[in-house]
Amino acid sequence: MSQDCRRYRAIFISDVHLGTKGCQSGLLLDFLRRNDADTIYLVGDIVDAWRLKQGWFWPQEHNDVVQKLLRKVRKHVRLIYVPGNHDEFLKGYLGVHFGGVEVVESAIHVGVDGRKYLVVHGDAFDMVVRHAKWLALCGDWAYDAALAINTYVNLVRRHLGLTYWSLSQWAKLKVKTAVNFIGDYENALVTEAKRHGVDGIICGHIHHAALHDRFGTRYMNCGDWVESCTALAETYDGQFELIQWSTAGAVPVPASIELAAAA
């Protein structure tokens, strides 16, 4: 392991969406090269089978991400894969090991202090995905459109010397229905954690990184690698932290995440 590589007890990554043009595979590769862990959890939607069915898109960089993860397994990193809705084809292989990768429906992560955290993708608690898949697919198309628009917006912003700005992230924080959905989703996940008798829950799915105890139980969402490029990590002293990655490495956590953590 290189000297500039930081090691954690556990790293949680979700919503990479390999197979889509919006995937920030280059940043994820850089993150994986400069961060390591005893255990890495892939918390769903790592591969986007929905998009691949509509048209094949798989550049070398996406293959490099897969190979990098498999190399970590060969170096004795435990890799646990919890499928989501976009990679639901893997749910037919629960309990199977692929080259050392463990595919499970959910997992229990035990922290340094003995506290237990349920690890799920979270799509089962999104009523749109669960009961109206056709509507979710429409939403997926609209999301891709927003990402495409965002690409052109940020070309202009770069010419003006401005920093990156995410249209979809802005909408999530400003549109009342989106804000309400995030709150309802978080509450549903915390309720599930309480039902399982654990101390908290770790999830993904909604592309909104957060770490808080707002509902009386620890809620942690590792975010995504399309918009925010975030991961969740547990240090060896048992602290959980959200990491946002850029071309310069780790950057200060955005205000939206800080507010969630402090709430």
**Mean pLDDT to the nearest integer, 159-184:** 58
Which pLDDT score, from 0 to 100, does residue 251 have? 78
Confidence category of residue 164, pLDDT binned at 50, 70, 90? low
Confidence category of residue 248, pLDDT binned at 50, 70, 90? confident
Rounded to whole angstroms, how far apart are CA atoms 130 and 140? 14
pTM of the model: 0.81
What integer best gives the mean pLDDT of the chain?
Answer: 83
Domains within the chain, CATH numbers bracketed:
6-262 (3.60.21.10)
Which pLDDT score, from 0 to 100, does residue 135 have? 41
Confidence category of residue 98, pLDDT binned at 50, 70, 90? confident
Confidence category of residue 170, pLDDT binned at 50, 70, 90? low
Confidence category of residue 144, pLDDT binned at 50, 70, 90? low
End-to-end CA distance of the chain: 37
pLDDT tens-digit map of 182-230: 778 898 899 999 999 999 999 999 888 999 998 999 999 999 998 889 9
